Structure 1
Amino acid sequence: MKWCLFFLFSSFYVQAQAPLVVDIISSENFSLRYEEFLDGRSVLDVEDFHPSTKGSHIEIIEMVLLQQALHLGGEQRKVIFNPKPSVNIIEFSDLIAGESLVLARSTWHEDLLDYKGSLFVSEPLVEYGEYEAGFYVAKRNIALHNMPAERLNQLTVVANPRWKVDWRALNNTDVNIVSFIGPWETMLEMVETEIVDAMLVNFSVSQSLVLNFEGREYVPINELKLFLPDSRHFVVSKRHPDGKRVFAALNKGLAILKERGILRKALTESGFINEKVAPWHMVNEAMLMRGIQ
Structure 2
Amino acid sequence: MKMKWVCWLLFISPISWGSNQLVVDIISSENFSQRYEDFLAGRHVLDVDTFHPTTKGSHIEIIEMVLLQQALFLGGETRQVVFNPKPSVNILEFSDLIAGESLILARSVWHESIVDYRGALFISEPIVEVGEYEAGLYVTKRNVALQQTPLSQLRQLDVVSNPRWAVDWRALMNTDLHMVSFIGPWETMLEMVESNVVDTMLINFSVSDSLVLTFEGKEYVPIEDIKVVLPDSRHFVVSKNHPEGEQIFAALNRGLHVLKQRGIIKRALTESGFINKRVANWQVANAKMVVEVD
| Common fold: TM-score over 0.5 | yes
Aligned-partner Cα distance in 1 for 2:20–2:100? 17
TM-score w.r.t. structure 1 length?
0.93
- 2:184 equivalent among 182, 185, 188: 182
Alpha-carbon separation, structure 1, partners of 2:208 and 2:40: 19
Higher mean alpha-carbon deviation, 17-26 vs 265-274, is at 17-26
- Cα distance in 2 for partners of 1:227, 1:163 equals 14
User: In structure 2, which of residues 104, 117, 132 is the aligned counterpart of residue 115 of structure 1?
Assistant: 117
**What is the distance in 2 between the residues matched to 1:137 and 1:32?**
27
Secondary structure in structure 2 of the residue aligned to 1:246 = helix
Counterparts of 1:53 and 1:253 in 2: how far apart (Å)? 27
Q: Secondary structure at the match of 2:37?
A: helix
Offset from partner CA, 1:163-205 (integer Å, 9 cap, x none): 0000000111111001111100000000001110000001001
Aligned counterparts of 1:289 and 1:56: Cα–Cα separation in 2: 27
Give 1:18 shift.
Answer: 2.6
Distance in 1, Cα, partners of 2:178 & 2:246: 45
Q: Secondary structure at the match of 1:234?
A: strand
4+ runs deviating over 4 angstroms:
none
Paired residue for 1:170? 172
One-letter amino acid of the structure 1 residue matched with residue 248 of structure 2: V
1:94: which partner in 2?
96
Alpha carbons 2:160, 2:201 under 8 Å: kept: yes
Q: Is the 8 A contact 2:162 2:181 kept in 1?
A: yes
Letter in structure 1 aligned against 2:60: I
SS of 2:35's equivalent in the other structure is helix
What TM-score does the superposition give when structure 2 sets the normalisation length?
0.92
Give the corresponding residue for 2:142: 140
Measured after TM superposition, the shift of residue 285 of structure 1 is 1.5
Deviations 1:187-244 (A, max 9, x none): 0000001110000001001110000000000000000001011100000010111100
**TM-align CA RMSD:** 1.1
Matched, 1:222 2:241: no
Match of residue 40 from structure 1: 42
Counterparts of 2:177 and 2:122 in 1: how far apart (Å)?
Answer: 36
Give identity over the alignment, percent: 71
Question: Which residue is equivalent to 1:192?
Answer: 194
**Higher Cα Rg, which structure:** 1
Residue aligning to 1:8: none
Q: Which residue identity lines up with residue 114 of structure 1 in the other structure?
A: D
1:124 counterpart SS class: strand
Q: In structure 2, what is the Cα distance between the partners aligned to 1:150 and 1:27?
A: 38
Distance 1:36 1:128 in 2: 30
SS in 2 for 1:272: coil
Residue aligning to 2:265: 263
Report deviation, 1:17.
Answer: 4.6
Q: Write the letter of the residue equivalent to 1:73.
A: G
* Distance (whole Å) between structure 1 residues aligned to residue 155 and residue 22 of structure 2: 50
Aligned length: 277
Per the alignment, residue 209 of structure 2 pairs with 207
Code of the residue aligned with 1:120 in structure 2: it is F
Unaligned regions of 5+ residues in structure 1, if any? 1-15
